[in-house]
Amino acid sequence: MSDIAANIDRIRAKLGDRVTLIAVTKTVEPERIAEALDAGVTICGESKVQEAKAKIALVSSRARWHFIGHLQTNKVRDAVELFEMIHSVDSVKLAAEINKWADRLGKTMPVLLEINVSGEGSKFGMKPEDLPAALAEMNKLPRVEVRGLMTIPPAGKDARPFFRKLRELRDAHGLPELSMGMTHDYEVAVEEGATMVRIGTGIFGERKRNEPTE
């Protein structure tokens, strides 16, 4: 068994059947993505639209693709075409742009709202207090379906309180999905109720390049 397949088996054993594994494939070559698919991965996460576009053309229909990075307005059209879900919507303006392109392309786009639970670290994500008003606006967009919340906790701190806060927010709004947990903290995220975890390094090993999200 390859390292990639063994890593996936070990992670899936810890996730059980109720948590969806998203294999984060940023900077990973198509051949190694194919190994992950052979080992049973069905959803890949990418954080850059351009990189994903090239890769999806090569790996294509064998995987479903989720967008997990920061999305710029001028990339929304491609994102709506390429991805099955966008995890990182952090403004009503971005949701409106997604709605516009989803309408033109004749689809409905499931999205998650990225929340900056801690108020520190990441410069992306909505403030928790802005969520109710944003949801009210987004619910008026017929081609955008808000399915849940996503967060990236600040580095170097215990993630548990941030995951717990995200779950409380999700519960308060009656949404189904919680995208939280990466390689170093996914077990805690699962304990706190994650429905999707996003794991790169734990499957593919250390990335050679550590580029900022676009």
Q: Which residues bind ligand PLP (CB under 6 A)?
A: 24, 26, 47, 68-69, 152, 182-183, 198-202, 213
Q: Which residue is nearest to ligand PLP (CB)?
A: 200
User: Shortest distance, CB of residue 169 to ligand PLP, whole angstroms?
Assistant: 18
CB nearer to ligand PLP: give 86 or 141: 86
Q: How far is the CB of 76 from ligand PLP (least distance, A)?
A: 18
Q: Least separation, in Å, of the C-beta of 144 and ligand PLP?
A: 20
| Residue closer to ligand PLP (CB basis): 20 or 183 | 183
How many angstroms separate the CA atoms of 25 and 123, rounded? 23
In the bound state with ligand PLP, the residue whose beta carbon lies nearer, of 59 and 196, is 196
Q: Which is nearer to ligand PLP, 28 or 109 (CB)?
A: 28
Q: How far apart are CA 60 and CA 194, in angstroms?
A: 27
Nearest residue (CB) to ligand PLP, 99 versus 151: 151
Long-range contacts of 174-180 (CB under 8 A, 24+ apart): 175/146, 175/147, 175/148, 175/149, 176/147, 176/148, 177/112, 177/147, 177/148, 177/149, 178/148, 178/149, 178/150, 179/22, 179/68, 179/87, 179/112, 179/148, 179/149, 179/150, 179/151, 180/150, 180/151, 180/153
Q: Give the nearest distance from C-beta 12 to ligand PLP in angstroms.
A: 15
Cβ proximity of 22 and 66 under 8 Å:
yes
Shortest Å distance, C-beta 142 to ligand PLP: 27
